[in-house]
Amino acid sequence: MASLKILFVTPEVDPFVKVGGLADMVGALPKELAALGHDVRVVCPLYGSVKRLGDWRARAEPLGIDVGAETVWARTWETRLPGSAVPAYFLENDAFFGRPGVYGGAHGAYDDNDHRFIVLSRGALTLCLQLDWIPDVIHCHDWTTGWVPVLLNTVLRGSPLGRVATVYTIHNLEYQGYAHPRAVAFARLPASEFRADSLEALGAVNPMKGGLYHATKITTVSPTYAAEIRTPDGGFGLDAVLRFRGADLVGILNGIDATSWNPATDPSLPHHYAPGDLAGKARCKAALQVRLGLSPAPDQPVFGVVARLVSQKGLDLLAAALPRIITTMRVQVALLGSGEEGLENAFRDAAHRYLGRVGVHIGFDGSLARLIQAGSDFFVMPSRSEPCGLTQLYAMRYGAPPVVRATGGLIDTVEQYDEQTGEGLGFRFDQASPGALADTIGWANSTYYDRPAHYARLQDRGMRRDFGWGRSAAGYVDVYRWAVAARNPTAVTLAS
Ligand code: ADP
Ligand code: GLC
C-alpha cells in the first residue's frame, strides 16, 4: 500500500522538551512510522527550554503566520528526531515561545496560551505550504492543537490543505485549554465557530472541544479510557461530544521506546541488567538508596514513584497512607515529582519525618526517573484517572511490578496478580482511598517476603513482555488510512 505523509503537530516532543508522557509518545511513534516506510514530520514550538540536541539549521525563509490583526513572523529550525531521519521543525518566536515553560511558569498557566497555541497550529499549516509538502494526515495532540481541525474545516477548506485529514489524539481529557472568546478572532476563524457544536463551552472557547467536533477521526491512548470518556463520570464535560463522535473514536494503547528504555543499555543507569540476571538491578537499588538518603537495606523492598504531583495521579492517597505503611511494613519509598505545592510539601515533610525510609526529590530529572525505575522493587501509581500511563510500562520493563489503581490504561496494561497461580504482572485496587492503597502495598509486600518465587516471576514476566510500539504503530496507520478515506471519498473510489 502507498506510504503516507504524516505531520505531527505537538506542544512537546522528547528528548527536546517534555512535561509528561505526551512527549514520550510523540518522540517515539513517528520513528516507528518512518520505519514502516511513511514520510513523517514533527512541528513543535521553540520554547526557551528546548534542548538543541544533534544538528540544527535555520531555514532561510521566515514563516509568516496569519493570526490576529497582522502577520506573526517565526523562524523555523530543522533537526531530526535522534536516531532517525524524521525531520523535526521548531518554530521560533520569542514573544510567544521564548519563555522556558511549555504551558506555564511558577505562577501557573501562561495567560496567553490561547494565542501561543493558535500560533503553533496555524504556523504548522503555513509551514506545510511553505515546504510545498502537503500531508495526507495531520496528527494532533491534545487541546493545544485542537485549532488545526477547525482551521482545516473552515477558512482553509478551499486551500491546498483542504483535503488533508486530521487524527486527533486525546492524551488527557482533563486539560481542555479554556480561553476567552476573543481567541476565535485571533485564529481568524468566523465568529460562527463560537457555538456549542464547535469551539464554545460554558461561554468560553474550548479548543479541545473544537478539535473533537472537527477532527476526521479521534483516538485516545487506551481502549478502557476510550470507553470511560464517553460516560458522565469520565467525560470531564465532553462525554456527550464523545458519544456523538463515538463511531469515529478508537482507543490505541501507547507503546514504549524499547531502545531508549532498556535496562541492559540505558546510559543513565550506573549498572545494567537483563531478565535472568538481576545483579545489576540490586546495585542500582543500592545507588538509589544512597542518592535519596534511604538506609542501605538490600532486603527491604523499595516502592518507587515518578509522577507529576497533581490530583489526577492520586498521590495525596499515598501521602495519607504513608504513616500506616511506614509504621506497619518493612518497606522504603523513593519518590520523584513536581507539581502542586501542597503535595510537594507533604512529601518533603514525609522525607524528614521518616528519615531513611522515605526518600524524596522534588523536581524534574530524567536520569533520576530512570534510576528510580531500575532501583525499585515495585512502582506505585494510585491514579484517579489514567488515560494510558507510561511509567508503569517502564517499571515493568525495569523489573518493578506496579501497584496501580484499576482505571484507564492501567487496567489495559497491568494484569492482576493471581496469588493461586502466580500469574499476572502487578497489583490492582479499585477504590481511590488511602486504605485501599495501603492494603495493596501490603499485599505486594507480603508477596515479596512470603512468596519470593511468585515475585520473581512477576518481575521476569514484566521484563520480557513486549511493550514496544509495533502493534500500536500499525493501529495508527489503520486509523490514518481510515481518516484519509473519510476525508477523500472520491479518491478512494478511484483508487479501488
Ligand atoms: P503523564 O503524561 O500523565 O505525566 P505518563 O506516565 O504517561 O504520565 O508519562 C510521564 C512521563 O514523564 C514519564 O516519561 C515519566 O518518567 C516522566 N516524568 C514525570 N515526572 C517526572 C519528573 N519529576 N522527573 C522526570 N521525569 C518525569
Ligand atoms: C497523558 C496521560 C497519560 C498518557 C500520556 C501519553 O499525559 O496523562 O496517561 O500516558 O498522556 O499518551
Q: What is the 3-state secondary structure (H, E, C) of the chain?
A: CCCCEEEEECCCECCCECCCHHHHHHHHHHHHHHHCCCEEEEEEECCCCCCCCCCCEECCCCEEEEECCEEEEEEEEEEECCCCCCEEEEEECHHHHCCCCCCEECCEECCCHHHHHHHHHHHHHHHHHHHCCCCCEEEEECHHHCHHHHHHHCCCCCCCCCCCEEEEEECCCCCCCCECCCHHHHCCCCHHHCCCCCCEECCEECHHHHHHHHCCEEEECCHHHHHHCCCCCCCCCCHHHHHHCHHHEEECCCCECCCCCCCCCCCCCCCCCECCECHHHHHHHHHHHHHCCCCCCCCCCEEEEEEEECHHHCHHHHHHHHHHHHHHCCCEEEEEEEECHHHHHHHHHHHHHCCCCEEEEECCCHHHHHHHHHHCCEEEECCCCCCCCCHHHHHHHCCCCEEEECCHHHHHHCCECCCCCCCCCEEEECCCCHHHHHHHHHHHHHHHHHCHHHHHHHHHHHHHCCCECHHHHHHHHHHHHHHHHHHCHHHHHHHC
Q: Which domain holds residue 287?
A: 279-464
Does one domain contain both 483 and 459?
no
Query: How many angstroms is it from 387 CA to the middle of ligand 2?
Result: 6
Together in a domain, 13 and 32: yes
Residue 263 lies in a domain: no
Q: Is residue 237 part of a domain?
A: yes
Our answer on whether the CB atom of 251 is closer than 6 Å to any ligand 2 atom is no
Statement to judge: residues 245 and 338 lie in one domain:
no
pLDDT of residue 468: 95
Specify the ligand 2 atom closest to the Cα of 390. Answer: 10
Residues 292 and 233 in one domain: no
Q: What pLDDT does 237 receive?
A: 98
Cα-to-centroid distance, 110 and ligand 1 (Å): 21
Q: How many of the other CB atoms lie within 10 Å of CB of 11?
A: 23
Q: What pTM does this model have? A: 0.97
Domain count, the chain: 2
> Above 50 in pLDDT, residue 257?
yes
Tell which atom from ligand 1 comes closest to the C-alpha of 390: 6
pLDDT at 282 over 70: yes
Question: 457 and 481 in one domain?
Answer: no
Statement: residue 24 has pLDDT above 90: yes
Q: How many Å lie between the centroid of ligand 1 and the Cα of residue 390?
A: 8
Ligand 1 neighbourhood includes 20 CB (under 6 angstroms): yes
Instruction: Give the mutation target among 305, 308, 368 for probing the ligand 1 site: most ligand atoms within 8 A of CB.
Output: 308
In a domain, 211, yes or no: yes
In a domain, 204, yes or no: yes
Q: Which ligand is nearest to the CA of 26?
A: 2
Same domain, 121 and 167: yes
Q: Which ligand is nearest to the CA of 390?
A: 1
20 alpha carbon, closest ligand: 1
| Domain match, 247 and 301 both | no
**205 and 333 together in one domain:** no
The closest residue, in CA terms, to atom 14 on ligand 1 is 21
Q: Which ligand approaches the C-alpha of residue 310 most closely?
A: 1
pLDDT digits (tens, 9 = 90+) for 107-151: 899 999 999 999 999 999 999 999 999 999 999 999 999 999 999
Q: Is 308 in the pocket of ligand 1 (CB under 6 A)?
A: yes
Interval between CA 306 and ligand 1 midpoint (Å)? 6
Is 274 within the bounds of a domain? Answer: no
Tell me what pLDDT residue 489 has: 87
Contact 17/23 with Cβ under 8 angstroms?
Answer: yes
**Average confidence (pLDDT) over 183-212:** 98
Question: Quick check: CB of 30 below 6 Å from ligand 2?
Answer: no
Residues 440 and 474 grouped into a single domain: no
Q: Is the CB of 21 under 6 A from ligand 1?
A: yes
Same domain, 295 and 434: yes
Is residue 246 located within the same domain as residue 283?
no
Residue 478 has which C-alpha cell? Answer: 489503520
Among 171, 313, 383, 386, residue to substitute to test ligand 2 (most atoms within 8 Å of Cβ): 171
Query: What is the mean pLDDT of the segment spanning 48-77?
Result: 97
* Residue 493 confidence (pLDDT) above 60: no
Q: Pick the closest to residue 208 from 182, 183, 174 (CA basis).
A: 174
> What average pLDDT score do residues 409-430 get?
98
Does residue 166 fall inside a structural domain? Answer: yes
In a domain, 269, yes or no: no
Mean pLDDT (whole number) for 10-23: 98
Q: CATH no. for residue 307?
A: 3.40.50.2000
